[in-house]
Amino acid sequence: MRDVAAAPRYGATRASLRAGKSDPGLNTRVPIGKMVRYGTALLAGVIAGSRGVSAVQSWQQYRTLHESDPSGADAYLTFAQVDAAIAILSLCLAALVWWLLGRGGHAPDR
């Protein structure tokens, strides 16, 4: 037979949470820095992915029109360059935020 008193608690009541009496293994709060860190990485991944796909499509259109319509193809080359730059910048910004928030927001000591 199972001992009910020794069974692990899977939740806490509101009163016990207000009093600060929750199980040590039960963490109901997520730090804001961690949410910003993961949210930024997710958003940057979405932006970089969509801009990367758009850059590849623009590059393909440029290669297709390069021989027949050079002036029209230049626009596609510009679109591809801008989309690639935005994708790279969003990934760099996400890496910077990830690194800063992963260290607790402190710059390295030198």
User: Which amino acid belongs to residue 108?
Assistant: P
C-alpha to C-alpha distance for 51 and 90, rounded to whole angstroms: 10
- Average pLDDT value for residue range 4-27: 56
Instruction: Answer whether 0.75 is exceeded by the pTM.
Output: no
pLDDT at 68: 92
33 Cβ contact partners less than 8 Å away, ≥ 6 residues apart? 101, 104, 105
The 3 state secondary structure assigned to 6-45 is CCCCCCCCHHHHHCCCCCCCCCCCCCHHHHHHHHHHHHHH
Is residue 2 predicted with pLDDT exceeding 90? no
Distance CA 5, CA 51 (A): 56
Residues 20-70 pLDDT 10s: 655 555 566 778 878 888 898 899 989 999 999 999 999 999 999 998 998
Confidence band, pLDDT 50/70/90 cuts, at residue 89:
very high
Task: Report whether 79 contacts 12 (CB < 8 A).
Answer: no
pLDDT at 46: 93
**Mean pLDDT of the 75-84 span:** 95
Higher pLDDT, 46 or 107: 46
Distance (Å, whole) CA 43 – CA 46: 5
Q: Can you give the pLDDT at residue 40?
A: 86
Residue 66 has which token pair? 């390069």
Sign of the Cα pseudo-torsion (22, 25, 97, 100, in order): positive
